[in-house]
Amino acid sequence: MSPREELDELGYTILPRWLPQDLLAELRATVAELYDREGDTAGSEFKQEPGCLRLANLVDKGDVFQHVIAAPEILALVEHVLGAEFKLSSLNARTALPGCDAQPLHADMGAIADEHGYWVCNTVWMLDEYTPDNGPLRVVPGSHRWGKLPQAELPNLRAMHPREQLVTAPAGTVVVMNAHLWHGGLDNRTTKPRTALHAFYCRRDKPQQQYQKQLVRPEVQARLSPAIRRLLAIDDPLNDQLAREVTVRSGFLK
């Protein structure tokens, strides 16, 4: 199957060793430097997770990350899932430390496709190799088409699903995933950390997971190209309205 056919049928597609080695090395070095610089506050703009290291708001923290959020081949696959009108919802890093627990099966944002179709799509940029033992991604192929959330169907979200598959691949691989797919990271049973970037996209009529206009500093915004500004929805009045509504409704956004 082609990548687009895999997204339709399975809910995900794997692009092995897609990242050039020089970009992979730069991303690794930048993420490591940010972990050192941010220390105990790393990930605090979004969330911190026991057993893992996290970084959030990465568009604000290095021009190198624009290569991640705006890669044309990857965006074409995101568009296949979401349609032409989409935006970056967040760009984070997650490092599964040795001994970290498995995540429950979930769909990102608790999302179910609506009358307009799918509205969330995630991309996983493997900065380290994913092996069966170091916290790989597990997915339930085809579950993006079921129109149900796992918590409504399963008594134990951490148990093995009879239809699940493990996604293992070399460093530099990119996975594009319809984020309505049931998925989760497994426990890291090795002695080494495992790191990935998650560039997460949503339809333009949905609120961002992280409100980019507020989080990205004005001096960084001033350097962005028109195409990147549009991808971040920085100049989009609808995006501002959606962020205000989320703030009023839940206090989720600062």
Tens digits of per-residue pLDDT, 68-109?
Answer: 999 999 999 999 999 999 999 999 999 999 999 999 999 999
Helix, coil or strand: residue 140: coil
* Domain 3-204, second-level architecture: Sandwich (2.60)
pLDDT at 250: 57
pLDDT at 252: 42
Look at residues 122, 143, 118, 144 and name the one whose alpha carbon lies nearest to residue 68: 122
State yes or no: pLDDT of 65 exceeds 90.
yes
Q: How confident is the model at residue 247 (pLDDT cuts 50, 70, 90)?
A: confident
Output phi, psi for 44, to 5 deg: -70, -20
State yes or no: pLDDT of 249 exceeds 80.
no
The model carries a pTM of: 0.95
In single-letter form, the type of residue at position 98 comes to P
pLDDT tens profile 120-169: 999 999 999 999 999 999 999 999 999 999 999 999 999 999 999 999 99
Mean pLDDT of 230-246: 95
Query: Is the CB of residue 176 less than 8 Å from the CB of residue 15?
Result: yes
The helix (run of H) or strand (run of E) holding residue 121 is: strand 120-126
Mean pLDDT of 227-234: 98
pLDDT at 33: 98
Helix, coil or strand: residue 33: helix
7/80 Cα distance (integer angstroms):
8
pLDDT at 248: 72
Q: How confident is the model at residue 244 (pLDDT cuts 50, 70, 90)?
A: very high
For the chain, what is the mean pLDDT? 96
Query: Is the CB of residue 175 less than 8 Å from the CB of residue 12?
Result: yes
Express as a percent the part of the chain with pLDDT over 90.
Answer: 95
Look at residues 164, 87, 148 and name the one whose alpha carbon lies nearest to residue 113: 148
Other CB atoms within 10 A of residue 36 CB: 9
Q: What is the dihedral of CA 185, 186, 189, 195, to 10 degrees?
A: -10
Distances (CA, A) of 113 to 26, 143, 144, 238, 245: 36, 12, 8, 20, 20
Other CB atoms within 10 A of residue 95 CB: 24
pLDDT at 54: 97
Mean pLDDT of 229-237: 97
State yes or no: pLDDT of 253 exceeds 70.
no
189/186 Cα distance (integer angstroms):
9
Mean pLDDT of 31-42: 97
Region of 98 please: left (phi>0), alpha (psi -120 to 50) or beta: beta
Edge-first strand listing for the sheet containing 12-15: 12-15, 174-178, 120-126, 194-203, 86-96, 52-55
Distances (CA, A) of 232 to 74, 110, 246: 16, 22, 17
